[in-house]
Amino acid sequence: MRRFWALFFLAWPIVAIAWSWAAPSYGWWFYRPAQSPLGQEIDNLFYLILVIVTTVFIGTNLALFYVLWKFSDDGSPRKGSFSHGSHILEMVWTVTPAGVLLFISLYQMDVWARFRMTKNFDKEAVAQPLAEITARQFEWRIRYPAPGRKFQNKAEIEEWLKRPSRDDVYTVNELHCPANKPVLIHLRSEDVLHSFFIPDLRVKQDAVPGLVIPVWFEASKADHYDLICAELCGWGHYKMKGRISAESDADFQTYKRELAAKQAFDGVPAKTETKKEGEGQ
Amino acid sequence: MRVGVSYTVLLVVAWGAVGCSGPEAKFVTSEKTQALIPEAKAPIEKSLLDNFGTPHKLVAWQKLPVDYGKAEAENAGHEKAGWKLLNGRNLYMRHCLHCHGVSGDGNGPTANYLNPRPRDYRLGEFKFTSTANGIKARSDDLHLTLVNGIPGTSMPSFALLKPEELTALVDYVRWLAMRGEFEKKLGDELTADYSKKAVTDRTSNKEKPEKRTDIIAALDLLLKGTKEAPAEFPETIKSSADAMVAAWTGAEDASNQVIPAHPRQLPSADSDSISRGRKLYLSTELGCYTCHGLAGKGDGVSSVNYWPIPGSSPQKNYPERGLHDVWGNKVKPRNLTLGQYRGGRRPVDIYRRVFAGIKGTQMAGFATALNNNKDEDGKEVKNTDGSALNDAQVAALRDRKIWDIVNYVLDIPYQDQTVAPIMPKAPAAAPQTAAK
């Protein structure tokens, strides 16, 4: 019994580390690798922090084990000594973590700035925004500029965000975008806080009522990605899912033209063939 | 220590007794059925139970035009007939129930927090359809509503459900609507004579009081009949179901869908279209502005008037100002300046709203009102040789007028709202303010 607790408290960190080590290869509680260039850098930051905390975790648990083992009650009438109030110890365990945190905060600034600071955004993506996305309970309403529309300047984009244009194309929950290049959306909320979250691309941005927030992302390959709401926004939060379809530029243009054609449908069947009614609205 | 153990045991027992399930799912009867005397309520409940079952044990009534799912030996999960109805129910319970309720009565747990309230299917009516006036909704219409949601309301889009999930849901919602409508039809037969109020009135009638036993005997005769005279009620059940089946089947018929015969001319190709549409919008014959307002802000005079409750005798007004739909909910005429179109923003959707109206609301269909040889100024249109227009020409003129209105309505969000709208000059004989 004397050494039992020491071994007991050693066993759990070993289980935890073994489990965490195995998790990625078995797909337990783990994302698939980031599908965007910036996402990969965010992953690298994540791994860096993982290494740091794992080292600290192993160190503290070994120390705990050592103390438990060495000083467990063996019946001998030893007198305890107390380190409380040791100036050196206080300094060491304050300055060391502070140094580590300072390092992390400086090291990640570049990635943060590229993701969040508008002046670092891709110029082309900013000049030709992909869409305006309005989150609302419980869906993502999407408004694209007309197919082929090129914004001339910033003022035109601001005007477009203020008032819809006649030829805008509307859809809901299914955002298409070109793959392999940065795209920018303008995010708003119609009612409460929502959060625009594409886990595979490591993009997350709150949608705030009253604000129009530019968000950029880049999908590395043509694929479907889940878009989910990451802010508990009401009872239907769980069903607020969308889908990002990244595709080639040509496919995206075709998609947008087809969507515009569906939206302009006047119900008159084409003469030669019976047209199936579109679902775009 | 012992206290702790006994508390833990108590907690586990209590948890086991309470469980973690919610209230049991069951179909509830409508207020109308509940207002009947027990003897009259029982046959309706029995008929509903026989033909529709309970949420846990659905009955696929083969008479109804619903795709319940045929048994398919090959397809796992589809071996049993009726699999589609079960799938529909399960999906409905997950996605729809909390607003629309187990019985489709629009009274789920979250319903009270929503404005507008969720649809109560039990009248068998849906607002946004592609069918003509008085015709039921098509499956396609419900499908479109599921995919697009209804902007401006709490109905979200379910575009990302799988196609087979959507069709299962559409069929389950139609089935619930039919169940509710069937209950209503049976209730309508008995309400006049056998509601609690009617029976009290009959027994306490000062001039000619009836005995309760006599009333029950008459009801019994209606329900069970005698050896000589067959009972009427089973016949009522059959005819109600037949009428309902015919109505829902008919809606799927292509001939009942509103399809414009003539294509829309874009305002870019027909520059006068918007101004013609404006004249029609502001005309006293159509009176769009009486509800939607002169500038289209949904603030017309009808939206602030008191309106009578239909079927109330003596006639009573709704306590609240404004228009009400057949569900008794207050509705606002659409604010057309927002560019938000609940039934869809495609030109054909708005064409259908103008042509056939919005079911269950005061938004009437204008197909008949527009079916004449008058133009937007109310002047008669004639052929160049002076002859009157034939029917085909009148129909073409009607389509043009509807497209003019559509073009105008679609243009409203982009008009300068700071300019006060001006009524067109009234014709010589000033018409009274029309209340449509």
pLDDT at A280: 43
Residue B431's pLDDT is 47
User: Measured in whole angstroms, how far is the alpha carbon of residue B71 from the centre of its chain?
Assistant: 32
Q: Do B160 and A174 touch (CB under 8 A)?
A: yes
Non-local CB neighbours of A179 within 8 Å, separated by 6+ positions? A219, A220, A221, A222, A223, A246, A247, A248
**Residues A190/A209, Cβ–Cβ less than 8 Å:** yes
Categorize the per-residue pLDDT at B434 as very low, low, confident or very high, splitting at 50, 70 and 90: very low
Contact by Cβ (8 Å): B114, B99: yes
Beta bridge partners of A173: none
- Residue A27: the pLDDT is 76
B 184-243 → A contacts, CB under 8 A: none
- Which residues of chain A are within 8 Å of residue B349 when distances are taken between CB atoms? 281
pLDDT of B118-127, one tens digit each? Answer: 999 999 999 9
- Longest CA span, chain B: 108
| Per-residue exposure over A200-231, b if at least 16 CB sit within 10 Å of its own CB, e if not | bbbbebbbbeeeeebbbbbbbeeeebebbbbb
Pair type for strands A183-189 and A131-136: parallel
CB contact, 8 Å: A270 with chain B?
Answer: no
- Identify which of B224, B211, B249 has the alpha carbon closest to the alpha carbon of residue B67: B249
CB contact under 8 A, B346 and A266: yes
pLDDT mean across residues, chain B: 89
Which class for B413: exposed (0-12), middle (13-18), buried (19 or more C-beta within 10 A)? middle
Q: What 3 state SS string does chain B have?
A: CHHHHHHHHHHHHHHHHHCCCCCCCCCCCCHHHHCECHHHHHHHHHHHHHHHECCCCECCCCCCCCCCCCCCCCCCCCCCCCHHHHHHHHHHHHHCHHHHCCCCCCCCCCHHHCCCCCCCHHHCCCCCCCECCCCCCCHHHHHHHHHHCCCCCCCCCCCCCCHHHHHHHHHHHHHHHHHHHHHHHHHHHHHHHHEHHHHHHHHCCCCCCCCHHHHHHHHHHHHHCCCCCCCCHHHHHHHHHHHHHHHHHHHCCHHHECCCCCCCCCCCCCCCHHHHHHHHHCCCCCCHHHHHCCCCCCCCHHHHCCCECCCCCCCCECCCCCEECCCCCEECCCCHHHCCCCCCCCHHHHHHHHHHCCCCCCCCCCCCCCCCCECCCCCECECCCCCECCHHHHHHHHHHHHHHHHHHHHHHHHCCCCCCCCCCCCCCCCCCCCCC
How far is residue B178's CA from residue B85's CA, in Å, rounded to a whole number? 14
What is the phi/psi pair of residue A83, to 5°? -100, 5
> How close A147 comes to chain B (CA, Å)?
17
- Chain B nearest CA to A108, separation (Å): 36
Best residue in B148, B255, B265 to probe A by mutation, most A CBs within 10 Å?
A: B148
Residues belonging to chain A: 281
* Contacts A134 to B, Cβ<8 Å: none
Q: Tell me whether residues A173 and B160 touch, CB distance under 8 A.
A: yes
**pLDDT tens-digit readout, B21-62:** 677 889 999 999 999 999 999 999 999 999 999 999 999 999
pLDDT at A39 over 90: yes
SS3 A197: strand
Q: Which chain B residues contact residue A164 at CB under 8 A?
A: 339, 413
Q: Where are the alpha helices (DSSP H) in chain A?
A: 4-26, 37-71, 87-107, 109-116, 123-127, 154-162, 249-263
Distance between CA A201 and CA A248 in Å, rounded? 17
Provide the 3-class DSSP secondary structure of residue A175: strand
Q: Quick: pLDDT tens for A42-51.
A: 999 999 999 9
Distance CA B121, CA B177 (A): 5
Place of tokens 């549409």: B277
- Single-letter amino acid code for the residue at A209: P
Flag whether pLDDT at A273 surpasses 50: no
CA-to-CA distance for B139 and A51, rounded, in angstroms?
A: 57
Residues in chain A within 8 Å Cβ distance of B108: none
Distance CA B167, CA B200 (A): 47
pLDDT (0 to 100) of residue B436: 44
Residue B425: per-residue pLDDT: 54
DSSP state of A251: H
Tokens 């607020």 sit on residue: A240
Q: Greater confidence, B207 or A182?
A: A182
Cβ contact B160–A170 (<8 Å): no
d(CA A137, CA B150): 12
Phi, psi of B83 (to 5 degrees): -60, -30
A239: amino acid identity, one letter? K
Q: What is the pLDDT of residues B212-226, one digit of tens each?
A: 899 999 999 888 888
End-to-end CA distance of chain A: 72
Torsion of CA B213, B217, B219, B222, to 10 degrees: -170
Q: Is B233 exposed, middle or buried (0-12, 13-18, 19+ CB in 10 A)?
A: buried
Quote the ipTM score: 0.85
- Asked if the Cβ–Cβ distance from B149 to A139 is below 8 Å, we say yes
Q: Is B311's pLDDT higher than 60? A: yes
Residue B75, pLDDT > 80, answer: no
CA distance linking residue B432 with residue B426, whole number of Å? 10
Chain B residues 371-410 with CB within 8 Å of chain A:
403, 410
Helix or strand or coil: residue A120?
A: helix
- B321, B306 in Cβ contact below 8 A? yes
What is the radius of gyration, based on Cα positions, of chain B? 27
Of A137, A141, A277, the CB nearest to B151: A141
**Can you spell out the DSSP letters for A78-92?**
PPP---TT-HHHHHH
Closest CB from A268, A278, A279 relative to B262: A268
Distance from the Cα of A280 to chain B's closest Cα (Å) equals 7
pLDDT tens profile B377-418: 888 999 989 899 999 999 999 999 999 999 999 999 998 776
Min mean pLDDT across A70-74, A89-93, A237-241 is at A70-74
Q: What is the mean pLDDT of residues B323-337?
A: 92
CB B149 within 8 A of CB B155: yes
pLDDT digits (tens, 9 = 90+) for B344-371: 999 999 999 999 999 999 998 999 999 9
The yes-or-no verdict on residue A74 having pLDDT over 80 is no
Q: Which residues of A, range 224-253, sit inside 8 Å of B by Cβ?
A: 235-236, 239-243
Backbone angles phi, psi at B331, to 5 degrees: -125, 150
With cut-offs at 50, 70 and 90, classify the pLDDT of residue B116: very high
CA–CA dist B187, B45 (Å, integer): 10
Residue with tokens 């008009």: B415
pLDDT tens for B85-104 read: 999 999 999 999 999 999 99
Quote the tokens at residue B397: 């003129």
Neighbours of B317 (CB within 10 A): 12
Checking if the pLDDT of A279 tops 80, the result is: no
Note which residues in 148-207 of chain A have CB less than 8 A from chain B.
163-164, 166, 170, 172-174
Q: B-chain residues within 8 Å CB-CB of A244?
A: none
Identity of the residue numbered A101: L
Beta bridge partners of B324: B330
Closest chain B C-alpha to A261 CA, distance in angstroms: 10
Question: Residue B262: its chain A contacts at CB < 8 A?
Answer: 268
pLDDT at B149: 95
Question: CA-to-CA distance for B369 and B357, rounded, in angstroms?
Answer: 12
Give the percent of chain A with pLDDT over 90.
78
d(C-alpha A226, C-alpha A240), whole Å: 11
Nearest chain B Cα distance for residue A43, angstroms: 29
Distance from CA of B144 to the nearest CA of A (A): 6
Instruction: Assign B435 a pLDDT band (cuts: 50, 70, 90).
Output: very low
Q: What is the pLDDT of residue B430?
A: 45
Give yes or no for A274 touching B (CB within 8 A).
no
The distance between the two most distant Cα atoms of chain A, rounded to a whole number of Å, is 103
In angstroms, the separation between the Cα of residue A38 and the nearest Cα of chain B is 27
